[in-house]
Amino acid sequence: MQVDDQPGALAQRPSSVPSVGVSRPRPFPIIGEAAPGPRCGHTLTTITGPDGDVNKAKLVLFGGATALEGSTAKNPDGTPSGSPGPAASGIRLAGATNDVHIFDIRSGTWAKITPMGEPPSPRAAHAAAAVGNMVVVQGGIGPAGLASEDLHVLDFTDMERPRWHRVLVQGAGPSARYAHTLSLVANRFLVAMGGNDGKSTLGDAWALDTSEKPYQWRKITDAGEMPCPRMYATAAARSDGLLLLCGGRDVHGTPLADAFGFARHRDGRWEWHAAPGSMPAGRYQHGAVFVGTRLHISGGAVGGGRMVDESTSTVMLDTSGGAWITPAPGTLAGEDVTRRCRHAVTSVGPFVFIYGGLKGSQLLDDLLLADDAGGAELTICDPRAPAWSQYLNSVHGSASAAQMLAEAAAAEAAVAAAVASRSNSQGGSPEQVDDRAMSSPARDESPTLTLNQHHRAGASPPTPDVRLYHRAVVAPMEPPLRGLVRQLSIDQLDNEGRRVSIYDKGTPEGKTPLFQRTVSMPGVHKRVINELLRPRQWKPNHEDRRFMLAAEEIVELCDNAEKLFKQEKSVLELKAPIKIFGDLHGQFGDLMRLFEEYGAPNTAGDITYIDYLFLGDYVDRGSHSLETMCLLLALKIEHPRSVHLIRGNHEAADINALFGFRLECLERLGDEDGIWVWKRINALFNWLPLAALIEGKILCMHGGIGRCINRIEQIAELERPITMEDGGPVLMDLLWSDPTTNDGVQGVQPSPRGPGLVTFGPDRVKDFCKTNNLQMIVRAHECVMDGFERFAQGHLITLFSATNYCGTAGNAGAILVLGRDLVMVPKLIHPVPPTTPHTPDSSGGPLDEEPGTHGADTWMTQVNEERPPTPPRGRPHTPGSSLEYF
């Protein structure tokens, strides 16, 4: 089997070469007898558990050539047979295999597995892509010639019983080929490009939408000027859906040094865009993988039996800055561990893994590791080493509720797989997946085998109705709370399709350069995000209450955020998918827990494919209003089109002067600076948007419609900056009104919160929705025991995200996740028991409290005792001060 000419023999050096701006790649010791052994032309992909936990990540190695024709051949048991070596001018691959090996990064061990079902034919120079917990394999070349063009899926839904399936795709698609690329773009589209069909070098591009049935390839011909035909290129997808096609060999055999971005707009259009500059050295048969916004490129051949030079063996493209980076002169002297070709590359978190490949006439069997964790080098040479375990624990910790939910989902999947297996055994072709197993269930009770793990089958109408999902996801934090889990559900967040916005009406020609989409303005917000957006690591400092920022820095943060709020409408117009948060009230620990359990707004989380909407009441009551407000402002600056904040009733100076925020500013910043910051933030509050309209069907606000709001236009007509006095009855109703106590209380009633405030009945809700062509209202403002509560027969939902409000309510906190199909899923967290050591404590109290204290020694206790909160809905109001109802 001849696939391509190869570099000749090169001198071997055992030392390591540093990746650009990262630590040196280090070889792992091969542990266990099930290691893949020497090979090239194979693929290496990363799969994780359903919850995306790095602790469960595994590397899947498939196929490849395990010998070279004319070289020292191997016996069936893998031992050398003593045959002569190859000539330097050309190398033919042999020993193609369809073996599957798994590398457990937690234990550092290899395992060879034999999946059920019919495996693909032995092959090398094929392409593979991870789709959730599945690996899709396509194309390649083997002993019998080109492999078929069919898609083969290795399904790890049940890790104990992996299974091969062959997926038949309707219509024409990529022809049988090798040396091509296959990538998953935007968690939805399989994209195949280039290669060789045995006759010529190809320059086509194909996309398969895994969310639509029946599966069908679409040839991309309307995306602008295509890159030239090429084979042995690489294609790597960035987290936000940008695909980078890099290098390769053209029809004349010339190594290419170019790179092209390929992305899909939300309206379905695809776009090519040339990357700035050229790769430091043209190459093919190289490896490439993204870590964040940095594309790491390693090794490669340049033709004529040669490989890339040591000085350019490892390079990087920083797509956020649009710049190629090479090592400093002299740093790679005498080191060439990445000088190889036909190797396989993947990544886990900030780490890049490289396995095997070809160096001269030698097949390699080493596993290399490089670290790109913000420039901080980890001296790791063994995944069993303490530093590696510390990294895994620091990022994802030990067993969590998310893992328990994943295990439950896996158990359901096992049942579904068993049913599908029995169905297949009773009929149908063994070469293809039973169509019943490839379809979504009528009710999303259990996962089934479908290529898209992030989207339901395309049976939904183009404009679906809004509906609340029939099950809620509940995240218990500690073993004593496991009994409180009432329901388990498929995590809708994992089913969302990622979005790529590559067109902008405000730019020339209506386009935004692909390589600048992730660039954000410099400033103090970067520091805030780096230090505060740490869902598992953040801990309150009870010994030193001083805030991390100086007053000047907080004012700078407000200035930059205010510029963005001024550009927005009073009623935001937003799209799904989106996550909606209710009241936070300075309980920063609960915000971190929600980010930890259900995804965080960073590039390692889900901000690239889902928006965040916060419904107000960010300050007062809790102990960390400054952290809460500053982080939300920093996120708004970093992701202005994805993070949205609207105003609550506590975003007003006369209210937060009484309920804790002013006092917190004084306590943590000093009297003079504290007053300055408090006034500046309240001036910012006057610019906050007042409501949000999602997909034209869901109106989100803080309070309600009260007595006088009948049309959305009444809210939109309020001009900002606006104070409570200037807003009149409309703003008062918008920020202060509540639903009546239950669906049986109609009309407008006086509110127990105080004179001039009202409650509104279900009849008002239904009339408002009918008048404004809405299907639902989502509001916050009231503590509800389960974190969310329906009203008006489900036409209104009250949402509250802070748990154990003020340390006394004992309520759960919740968010609502609205999917692209407009199905709304409640996701809950329960309050942490006061004696449970956890980071952080929901009440804001010390981690090591004495049993029963329940955070009573926190500095906000006096404020909450003097001005107790409104009891949760359905609880009787205790008579007392008129201030108690705020």
- pLDDT tens digits, 213-246: 788 999 999 888 889 999 999 999 987 788 999 9
> Looking at the structure, do residues 365 and 490 belong to the same domain, yes or no?
no
CA 491 to chain CA centroid, nearest Å? 13
Q: Which of 234-248, 255-269, 316-330, 619-633 has the lowest mean pLDDT?
A: 316-330
The answer to whether residues 475 and 622 belong to one domain is: yes
Is the distance from CB of 562 to CB of 633 less than 8 angstroms? Answer: no
- 3-class secondary structure per residue, 814-853: EEEEECCCCEEEEEEECCCCCCCCCCCCCCCCCCCCCCCC
Handedness of CA 6, 11, 16, 22 (dihedral sign): negative
Summarize the confidence of residues 802-825 as an average pLDDT.
Answer: 89
For 259-307, the pLDDT digits (tens) are 999 988 766 789 898 888 888 899 999 999 988 888 899 999 998 878 8
Q: In whole angstroms, what separates CA 604 from the centre of its chain?
A: 6
Q: What is the mean pLDDT of residues 384-412?
A: 42
Do residues 739 and 615 both lie within one domain? yes
- Three-state SS sequence of 395-430: HHCCCCHHHHHHHHHHHHHHHHHHHHHHHHHHCCCC
Given the residues 650, 702, 781, 854, the one annotated as active site: 650
Q: Kindly tell me if the per-residue pLDDT of 92 is higher than 80.
A: no
Given a cut of 70, whether residue 127 has pLDDT beyond it is yes
Claim to verify: residue 548 and residue 628 sit in the same structural domain: yes
Better-predicted residue by pLDDT, 252 or 484: 252
In a domain, 1, yes or no: no
Integer angstrom CA distances of residue 762 from 17, 465, 709, 742, 743: 68, 20, 14, 8, 6
CB neighbour list of residue 313: distance below 8 Å, 6 or more residues apart: 17, 298, 299, 307, 332, 336, 338, 339
Q: Which residues lie closer than 8 Å to 601 by C-beta, 6 or more apart? A: 533, 595, 607, 612, 635, 639, 642, 643
Please indicate, yes or no, if residue 403 is contained in any of the structural domains.
no
Contact 21, 318 (CB under 8 A): no
pLDDT band at 709 (very low <50, low <70, confident <90, very high): very high
240 HSE (CA, 13 A, CB side): 25
Greatest CA separation for the chain: 96
Domain boundary among 790, 809, 826: 826
pLDDT digit string, tens, across residues 774-802:
999 999 999 998 899 999 999 999 999 99
Using CA atoms, how far apart are residues 723 and 686, in angstroms rounded to an integer? Answer: 6
Between CA 127 and CA 136, with CA 131 as vertex, the angle to 5 degrees is 35
Contact 699, 778 (CB under 8 A): yes
Number of H-type helices and E-type strands within the chain: 13, 46
Shared domain for 327 and 475, answered yes or no, is no
- Kindly state whether residue 869 falls inside one of the protein's structural domains: no
Q: Reply yes or no on whether the pLDDT at 431 is more than 80.
A: no
Identify the domain boundary among 396, 420, 450.
Answer: 396
- Domain assignment present for residue 456? The answer is no
Per-residue confidence band for 609, with pLDDT thresholds at 50, 70 and 90: confident
Number of domain units in the chain: 2
Q: Reply yes or no on whether the pLDDT at 423 is more than 50.
A: no
Q: What is the CATH number of the domain that holds 383?
A: 2.120.10.80
Q: Kindly report, residue by residue over 499-519, the tens digit of the pLDDT.
A: 223 333 334 444 445 454 444
| Whether residue 591 has pLDDT greater than 90 | yes
% of residues, the chain, pLDDT over 90: 47
Both 566 and 661 in one domain: the answer is yes
Q: Is residue 277 part of a domain?
A: yes
| pLDDT at residue 26, as a whole number | 52
Identify the top-confidence range among 180-194, 383-397, 701-715.
Answer: 701-715
Task: Give per-residue pLDDT as tens, 147-201.
Answer: 999 999 999 888 889 999 998 888 889 999 999 999 998 778 899 999 999 999 9
Pairing of strands 351-359, 109-113: unpaired
Kindly tell me if the per-residue pLDDT of 444 is higher than 70. no
Q: Look-up: residue for tokens 């190797």?
A: 343
Give the closest residue to 125 by CA, choosing from 208, 2, 301: 2
Residue 707: what are its φ and ψ, rounded to 5°? Answer: -100, -25
Residue 509 sits at φ, ψ, to 5 deg, of: 65, 10
Give yes or no: residues 365 and 471 share one domain. no
Q: E strands along 156-242, which residues?
A: 163-167, 181-185, 189-196, 201-209, 217-219, 234-237
Q: Which residue has the higher pLDDT, 187 or 397?
A: 187
Residue 443 is encoded by which pair of tokens?
Answer: 């009710």
pLDDT single digits (tens) 345-387: 999 877 888 999 999 888 998 888 777 765 433 333 444 444 4
Mean pLDDT computed over every residue of the chain: 76
Least confident of 336-350, 378-392, 853-867: 378-392
Q: Is residue 485 a part of any domain in this protein?
A: yes
Which of 11-25, 48-62, 808-822 reaches the highest mean pLDDT? 808-822
Lowest mean pLDDT among 30-44, 548-562, 816-830: 30-44
126 noted as active-site residue: no
Strand 58-62 with 323-325, pairing? unpaired
Measured CA to CA, the distance from residue 178 to residue 141 in angstroms comes to 6
CATH number at residue 667: 3.60.21.10
- The last residue of one of the domains, among 801, 826, 851, is 826
- 383 & 486 share domain: no
Residue 33 has a pLDDT of 58
The pLDDT-based confidence of 53 (bands split at 50, 70, 90) is low
Residue 512 CA to residue 670 CA, distance in Å, equals 44
> In this predicted structure, what is the pLDDT of residue 230?
97
d(CA 26, CA 822): 47
Show the domain range for 212: 26-396
Q: According to the model, what pLDDT value does residue 885 have?
A: 46
Distance CA 612, CA 778 (A): 14
Q: Which of 17, 10, 13, 15 is nearest to 332 (CA)?
A: 17
Is residue 89's pLDDT more than 80? no
Residues 236 and 380 grouped into a single domain: yes
Nearest to 286 by CA among 135, 372, 141, 179: 179
Whether 331 shows a pLDDT value over 90: the answer reads no
Q: How confident is the model at residue 576, as a pLDDT?
A: 94
Range in 298-312, 431-445, 515-529, 611-625 with the lowest mean pLDDT = 431-445
pLDDT in tens, 719-764: 999 998 899 999 999 999 999 999 999 999 999 888 889 999 999 9
Q: Is residue 857 part of a domain?
A: no
Rounded mean pLDDT, 861-886: 56
pLDDT value of position 381:
40
Whether 351 and 472 map to the same domain: the answer is no
391 and 477 share a domain?
A: no
Per the domain annotation, does 19 fall within a domain? no
Looking at the fold, whether 487 and 343 belong to one and the same domain comes out as: no
Phi, psi for 590 (deg, rounded to 5): -70, -35
